[in-house]
Amino acid sequence: MKGWAALVAIGLLAAGCTERANLPAGADAYALIPPPQENVQLREYRILPGDQLSVIVYREPDLSLPGVQVDTAGKFSLPLLGSVDAAGRTAEELAEDIRSRLAAQYLREPKVAVNVASAASQRIVVEGSVNQPGLYDIRGETTLLGAVSLARGPTRTAALSEVAVFRRSGKDLIAAKFDIAAIRKGEMRDPEILPGDTVVVGFSQLKSAWRDFLAAAPAFAIFRPLYD
């Protein structure tokens, strides 16, 4: 019996040691996805796919777009310039990019204004080992623990030290890994979650395997509290 139990344990350990994504963690993770800033009353809005924009080039009505939607790739098309990257930028940053590109090739000292006429829903995705994965609306400041709670919390087999956050930053996709067990204990800070982020809670294969084993072996049910 002891030898059989040892083989089961080895198999379970192997199941729990599958290779995980090599994402930045610790200080490197917080450098990419920091906690909320203190004493900041108003965060600059960054354009998202689905936003409706107004792009005005003064004295150039043929180049202006009173209403244009940012597509799912975060882009829209502007006369002369073609495709323009918009997602992840503020209206001021986008206006400056358009102005500099027009000045470099077509116009002398152009003046450009960009406004967000209608913002897309402020949503995040929470998936993985949570009780209710899905797409969630957020209002105001939201942190990683808040995002997981929207999905009714992690499952009992979640890997709490393997929680990834994915974020679009301009043309790039950044990602980092956090330990929400340590965050809950106050040992680490709770990173800020922004509209458009995706949160993925990891899955503990070892913990799940133990539960499956105990459920299938009633004689060992006495040990269940050790793994709950």
Output the CA torsion sign for 155, 157, 161, 166.
negative
194: CATH: 3.10.560.10
Give residue 17's identity as a one-letter amino acid code. Answer: C
pLDDT of residue 11: 41
Same domain, yes or no: 82 and 185: no
- Is 6 domain-assigned? no
d(CA 153, CA 197): 17
Q: Are 133 and 126 in contact (CB under 8 A)?
A: yes
d(CA 225, CA 135): 34
State yes or no: pLDDT of 3 exceeds 60. no
pLDDT, tens digit, for every residue of 55-88? 999 999 999 999 999 998 899 999 999 999 998 8
**Looking at per-residue confidence, does 213 or 40 come out higher?**
213
User: Per the structure block, which two tokens stand in for 128?
Assistant: 């993985």
| CB neighbour list of residue 217: distance below 8 Å, 6 or more residues apart | none
Same domain, yes or no: 76 and 165: no
- Is 14 domain-assigned? no
Give the residue numbers spanning the domain of 32. Answer: 23-41+121-226
State yes or no: pLDDT of 123 exceeds 70. yes
- Is 186 domain-assigned? yes
Judged by average pLDDT, the poorest of 13-27, 37-51, 92-106, 173-187 is 13-27
d(CA 208, CA 143): 27
For all residues of the chain together, what is the average pLDDT? 81
Same domain, yes or no: 168 and 191: yes
State yes or no: pLDDT of 168 exceeds 50. yes
Q: Which of 96, 118, 140 finishes a domain?
A: 118
Same domain, yes or no: 93 and 125: no
d(CA 121, CA 35): 22
91: CATH: 3.30.1950.10
Alpha helices in the chain (DSSP H): 2-16, 27-32, 91-105, 144-150, 180-184, 205-216
Same domain, yes or no: 211 and 142: yes
Q: Which of 3-7, 149-153, 170-174, 209-213 has the highest mean pLDDT?
A: 149-153
Q: In total, how many domains does the chain have?
A: 2
Same domain, yes or no: 125 and 211: yes
| CB neighbour list of residue 87: distance below 8 Å, 6 or more residues apart | 46, 47, 48, 49, 70, 73, 74, 75, 168, 170, 196
Q: Which of 65, 87, 118 finishes a domain?
A: 118
Same domain, yes or no: 137 and 98: no
Judged by average pLDDT, the poorest of 6-15, 151-160, 171-180 is 6-15
State yes or no: pLDDT of 111 exceeds 50. yes
Helix (H) or strand (E) holding 166: strand 158-169
d(CA 97, CA 94): 5
User: Per the structure block, which two tokens stand in for 4?
Assistant: 């059989």
Same domain, yes or no: 56 and 104: yes
- Is 3 domain-assigned? no
